[in-house]
Amino acid sequence: MADKELLERLDQWHEEDQHQRIVDEVKGLPPEQAAEYDVRCRLGRALNNTHQFQEALAVLESIKEQGEAHSAWWSRMGYALYHLERQKEAADHFRRALELKPDNQDARTFLAWMNVNDNAWGGRAGKKKASQPQEAVNGYRQETQTQRRPKASNAANDWEGRGWEGTAALDTTLFGPLRFPVKEGLFQTLPVTLEGKGLMVDLFIVEELAQPDRWEAITALLEGVPAMYRSARERMERDYAADATMEFFIRDQLAELDEEPLLAFFGAARREEISPETFIRRLELKGVTIAPLAEGGMDCTLDFSLDPALTDELLVFRFGQDQEIYDISHES
């Protein structure tokens, strides 16, 4: 049996996003200890999170006999297979993960995204495959970028319309039908498609806004997300050098992020090769928040960042109910 303190240490590093540290630690263990199932399972997860998918697959396959009984093993295999562009196999693994554990949110999230894009694993023909999603929500990255915000209870995440008394009912084009308890608000990670690109986006609706008399205004803001997304991207592309917040955000990230994963992410040999324009193109929408304003009304916040395995820093655009940008900030 694996050493309890070792496993706790590896899990703590996982929570802290120190995935390469996990890889280095396990590879430095005595062979008999590194070969234990619980250790290798964590190594496979860490290799996935450092984008070493081929090696992750090999590690996980080496513990297949034990792993086949565990939902997490099937999810981690599916994650590696997905990023190795073996989508049909990945989907089969995610389905098996759900059979073993129906509440496996990693498997459910990836399958939902793949089903939205429909042909990512050999579904109906005639559609172009969209870009791949970011890290899975719970198993690989324990939280996404909006972890600084309070998360609703599990009941609030079970939003598939159960007819509760006091249930908010919002029908949106981008996010689909949203059903959640009025008293709890909503925190849900959902697959969306913006400008032909598939994304996993955290949607947060603050509970005090969930009263029926606010539903129309909330829905209007959510319907405006594609236009606000385009407005934010245009502002980045046009004003990144002139706007002090954006200029500092880009300069700080390029200077402070760990060099090896940064260069690997951008496919560059040196930091100096990564231009601000290239950096901006790789920023993706991570979160959408509808929140109340102190003076009344509400606003919509769009959070942009790089891969969460690289950074938890956000470039944040705030829009008023007129769907115009009124503030840009750098947050973490």
More confident of the two residues 134 and 14: 14
Q: What is the mean pLDDT of residues 80-107?
A: 84
Give per-residue pLDDT as tens, 23-74.
999 999 998 888 899 999 999 999 998 889 999 999 999 999 999 999 999 9
Instruction: Kindly report, residue by residue over 210-237, the tens digit of the pLDDT.
Output: 888 899 999 999 999 999 999 999 999 9
Phi first, then psi: give them for residue 289, nearest 5 degrees. -125, 130
> Quick one: average pLDDT of 249-264?
93
Q: For 162-209, how does the pLDDT look when each residue is reduced to its tens digit (9 = 90+)?
A: 333 478 889 999 999 998 888 888 888 889 999 888 888 999 998 878
pLDDT cut 90: percent of the chain above it:
53
141 pLDDT more than 80: no
pLDDT at residue 314, as a whole number: 93
Looking at residue 74, its pLDDT comes to 94
pLDDT at 173: 93
* Sheet containing strand 325-331, strands side by side: 186-194, 197-205, 284-292, 298-305, 314-319, 325-331
**What pLDDT does 105 receive?**
66
pTM recorded for the entire structure = 0.54
Residue 209 · residue 185 · CB < 8 Å: yes
Query: What whole-number distance in Å separates Cα of residue 195 and Cα of residue 128?
Result: 13
**Above 60 in pLDDT, residue 135?**
no
- Lowest mean pLDDT, pick from 11-20, 149-158, 202-211, 252-261: 149-158
Residue 118: pLDDT over 90: no
288 falls in which pLDDT band (50, 70, 90)?
Answer: very high
Predicted confidence at residue 187, as pLDDT, reads 87
Quote the CA–CA distance of 238 and 253 in Å, as a whole number.
19
Query: Domain 4-117 - what CATH class?
Result: mainly alpha
Domain boundaries, the chain: 4-117, 145-331
Rounded Cα–Cα distance for residues 171 and 199 (Å): 19
* pLDDT at position 145 over 90: no
| DSSP class of 158 | -
Give the per-residue pLDDT at 266: 93
- Least confident among 261-265, 290-294, 296-300: 290-294
Pairwise CA distance, residues 162 & 167, whole Å: 9
pLDDT attached to residue 115: 52
Contacts of 108 (CB under 8 A, 6+ apart): 98
Confidence of residue 160 (pLDDT cuts 50, 70, 90): very low
